[in-house]
């Protein structure tokens, strides 16, 4: 080895030892006859010292010539520092260097490689390999590594077998567009990259594997956001001979194991909530339960008092922000403007303050007497000091708007603490979702999800009301996992495809292999997949999954470091029998 120790290792106990360290020059401080160099590797930073008198001249000059990010090896004696730095684990010692070798010089890096950097996003992405030298970035990948190891440990301990499934496949419908890969040996034909290994893991159940998992890359061509990347990682799982409760228990176990082993946190009780309740009380299928602020419906108490906007609305619904009665007029106006932005689309915002001295004042005092407002306050369970915020309109739209407002108020009032974790199982999702654009039903989860047996007759009469054996795990308002109990017989699967508007031929062409497998002894089965990058981001207390991916893509799906996607050589196109002619969009 080119080193005897790492740069994070030496302490007072090592004083007087002869050591060799290797790493990157983080900083050089040259005080004339005295030079300090901070040497960094992935384990830490150790200070090197070169001193006129006790260090020979040539060595002193060599040290003075070191530039940032030079790769060097330094040998010398560990000595006790006179001025100790208790912020650094190695801050009590330094190395009095007797030999210095420059292993590789470095150009001046385009940004400062320290916790606080001057590099913008795009620049750091272009030089991601330099960004990854920074502690704050490296630590995120270390967290990811730990979570991966703990996942494997837990799953192996529960008898799950990790099986790799192919990457060149054909379309798996998870609701996004496919990335496709042309086949050279089958001109004019394409593979699709898996949106998930869904059909393969089901086939593994037919094969008798019983308990499968895989930490696997999935690919979805959709618009990007902070919590989306075109390629991302799932902890993908499937089990046979289980019901929904078994799956929830097993994977609650996984998540609890990760929290306790990686963060030392006991996650505690995981609440269950139906999709219908989540929508009714939080306007959202992934409610953030770190704070309460449940929706309260006010039709009974707010309609019929001559306020046309409420009278004509399908739903009048509000939230009570505890302790926010002090909000100034200006703050409330600002909130009103905020909910009226097109992204949220509310028509307006009605408020009622329950002042600390017990008075009720609202923005609609013209229509409501104090007794009326008291009825609102009672419905909310409001107390003096609270602020009631009310929206109205079409039920579905208004719930969505209020959900945004609730999250905003939670943020404003400091209720979304990143160090707190509130998990929730959302269950009983609808099987189908009506799509206005295509005027047909889509599978809300995916087409392999089974309907609740008692709801099957509704498929004919009221398809939108059919509930599925489908569930999501939500933590702090983020969907971290989702799955379902699957259909495992041909007839039901075929029926499902029919309801999704597939002709028999189309269904056969795309998923005949799966339906056929169901005819050869398919056990009842179900599963779940966790968005691994999101889970890492939550553990790390961050909104962006990008930080937890070694080489992520930017918002337009580009890797600016390797400059991809890019055109390919004519020769390659020819081999693929492809001619490119781009259409104007
Ligand atoms: N394949 C599903 C997904 O990617 C998960 C599952 O149903 O197990 O969301």
Ligand 1 center–CA 542 separation, angstroms: 24
Q: Take atom 1 of ligand 1 and give the residue whose Cα is closest.
A: 198
Is 479 annotated to bind ligand?
Answer: yes
Contact call for residues 318 and 298 (beta carbons, < 8 A): yes
Atom of ligand 1 nearest to the CA of 528: 8
Tens of pLDDT, residues 158-181: 999 999 999 999 977 778 899 999
CA nearest neighbour of 173 among 500, 423, 439: 500
Strands of 211-362, DSSP E = 211-219, 231-240, 271-274, 296-297, 315-321, 350-354, 360-362
Mean pLDDT for 7-22 is 98
- Residue burial 272-286, b: 16+ Cβ < 10 Å; e: rest: ebebeebbbbbbbbb
Ligand 1 center–CA 429 separation, angstroms: 14
Is 229 annotated to bind ligand?
Answer: yes
Q: What is the pLDDT of residue 302?
A: 96
CA nearest neighbour of 124 among 105, 110, 143, 144: 110
Q: Take atom 7 of ligand 1 and give the residue whose Cα is closest.
A: 483
Tens of pLDDT, residues 32-70: 889 999 999 999 999 999 998 888 899 999 999 999 999
Q: Take atom 4 of ligand 1 and give the residue whose Cα is closest.
A: 196
Residue of 236, 254, 488, 531 to mutate, ligand 1, most atoms within 8 A of C-beta: 236
* Longest CA–CA separation in the chain, Å: 94
- The rounded distance, in Å, linking the Cα atoms of 215 and 476 is 23
Please state which of the ranges 143-152, 397-406, 439-448 shows the lowest mean pLDDT: 439-448
Is 445 annotated to bind ligand?
Answer: yes
CA nearest neighbour of 40 among 66, 16, 58, 65: 66
pTM for the model stands at: 0.94
Contact call for residues 33 and 78 (beta carbons, < 8 A): no
- The residue written with tokens 């040998």 in the block is 75
Tens of pLDDT, residues 412-425: 999 999 999 999 99
Ligand 1 center–CA 191 separation, angstroms: 20
Q: What is the pLDDT of residue 338?
A: 98
CA nearest neighbour of 297 among 275, 312, 282: 282
Is 533 annotated to bind ligand?
Answer: yes
332 exposed, middle or buried (CB, 10 Å; 0-12, 13-18, 19+)?
Answer: middle
Tens of pLDDT, residues 88-139: 999 999 999 999 999 999 999 999 999 999 999 999 999 999 999 999 999 9
Tens of pLDDT, residues 306-336: 999 999 999 999 999 999 999 999 999 999 9
Contact call for residues 483 and 471 (beta carbons, < 8 A): yes
- Percent of the chain surpassing pLDDT 70: 100
Is 486 annotated to bind ligand?
Answer: yes
Ligand 1 center–CA 234 separation, angstroms: 9
Atom of ligand 1 nearest to the CA of 236: 8
Provide Rg for the chain, Cα atoms.
30
> In the predicted model, is pLDDT for residue 264 greater than 80?
yes
Here the tokens at position 554 are: 């930017």
- The rounded distance, in Å, linking the Cα atoms of 25 and 73 is 10
Q: What is the pLDDT of residue 225?
A: 78
Residues enclosing ligand 1, CB less than 6 A? 174, 196, 198, 482-484, 527-529
Q: What is the pLDDT of residue 70?
A: 98
Average pLDDT, the chain: 96
- Residue burial 149-183, b: 16+ Cβ < 10 Å; e: rest: ebbeebbeebebeebebeeebbbbbbebebbeebe
Ligand 1 center–CA 428 separation, angstroms: 15
- The rounded distance, in Å, linking the Cα atoms of 503 and 509 is 10
Contact call for residues 315 and 399 (beta carbons, < 8 A): yes
Atom of ligand 1 nearest to the CA of 449: 7
Q: What is the pLDDT of residue 543?
A: 86
Phi and psi based region of residue 32 (left: phi greater than 0; alpha: psi -120 to 50; beta: remaining): left
């Amino acid at each position: 080895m080119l080193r005897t120790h790492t740069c994070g290792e030496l302490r007072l106990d090592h004083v007087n030892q002869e050591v060799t360290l290797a790493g990157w020059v983080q900083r050089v401080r040259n005080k004339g006859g005295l030079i300090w160099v901070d040497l960094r590797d992935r384990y830490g930073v150790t200070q090197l010292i070169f001193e006129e008198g006790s260090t020979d001249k040539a060595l002193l000059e060599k040290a003075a010539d070191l530039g940032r990010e030079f790769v060097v090896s330094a040998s010398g004696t560990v000595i006790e520092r006179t001025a100790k730095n208790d912020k650094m684990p190695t801050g009590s010692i330094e190395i009095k260097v007797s030999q210095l070798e420059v292993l590789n010089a470095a150009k001046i890096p385009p940004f400062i490689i320290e916790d606080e950097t001057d590099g913008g996003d795009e620049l750091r992405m272009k030089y991601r390999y330099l960004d990854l030298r920074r502690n704050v970035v490296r630590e995120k990948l270390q967290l990811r590594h730990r979570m991966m190891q703990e996942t494997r440990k837990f799953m192996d301990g529960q008898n799950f077998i990790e099986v790799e499934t192919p990457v060149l496949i054909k379309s798996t419908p998870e609701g996004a567009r496919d990335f496709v890969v042309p086949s050279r040996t089958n001109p004019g034909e394409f593979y699709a990259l898996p949106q998930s290994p869904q059909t393969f893991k089901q086939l593994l159940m037919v094969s008798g594997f019983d308990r499968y998992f895989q930490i696997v890359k999935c690919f979805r061509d959709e618009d990007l956001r902070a919590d989306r990347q075109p390629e991302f990682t799932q902890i993908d799982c499937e089990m046979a001979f289980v019901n929904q409760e078994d799956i929830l228990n097993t994977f609650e176990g996984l998540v609890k194991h990760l929290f306790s082993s990686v963060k030392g946190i006991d996650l505690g009780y995981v609440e269950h909530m139906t999709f219908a309740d989540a929508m009714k009380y939080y306007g959202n299928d992934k409610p953030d339960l770190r704070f309460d602020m449940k929706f309260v419906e006010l039709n009974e108490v707010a309609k019929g008092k001559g306020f046309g906007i409420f009278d004509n609305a399908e739903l009048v619904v509000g939230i009570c922000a505890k302790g926010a009665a002090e909000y100034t007029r200006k703050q409330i106006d600002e909130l009103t403007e905020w909910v009226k932005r097109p992204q949220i689309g509310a028509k307006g915002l009605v408020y009622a303050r329950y002042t600390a001295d017990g008075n009720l004042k609202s923005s609609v005092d013209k229509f409501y007497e104090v007794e009326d407002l008291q009825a609102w306050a009672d419905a909310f369970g409001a107390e003096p000091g609270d602020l009631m915020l009310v929206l109205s309109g079409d039920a579905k739209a208004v719930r969505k708007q209020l959900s945004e407002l609730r999250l905003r108020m939670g943020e404003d009032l400091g209720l979304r603490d990143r160090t707190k974790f509130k998990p929730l199982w959302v269950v009983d999702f609808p099987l189908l979702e009506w799509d206005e654009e295509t005027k047909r039903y889509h599978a809300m989860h995916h087409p392999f999800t089974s309907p609740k047996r008692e709801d099957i007759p509704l498929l004919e009469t009221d398809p939108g009301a059919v509930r599925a054996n489908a569930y999501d795990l939500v933590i702090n308002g983020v969907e971290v996992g989702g799955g379902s109990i699957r259909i495992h017989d041909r007839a039901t699967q075929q029926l499902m495809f029919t309801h999704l508007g597939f002709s028999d031929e189309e269904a056969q062409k795309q998923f005949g292999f799966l339906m056929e497998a169901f005819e050869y002894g398919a056990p009842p089965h179900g599963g779940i997949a966790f968005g691994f990058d999101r889970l890492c981001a939550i553990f790390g207390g961050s909104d962006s999954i990008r930080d937890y991916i070694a080489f992520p893509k930017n918002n337009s799906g580009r890797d600016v470091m390797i400059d991809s996607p890019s055109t390919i050589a004519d020769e390659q196109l020819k081999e693929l029998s492809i001619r490119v002619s781009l259409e104007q969009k």
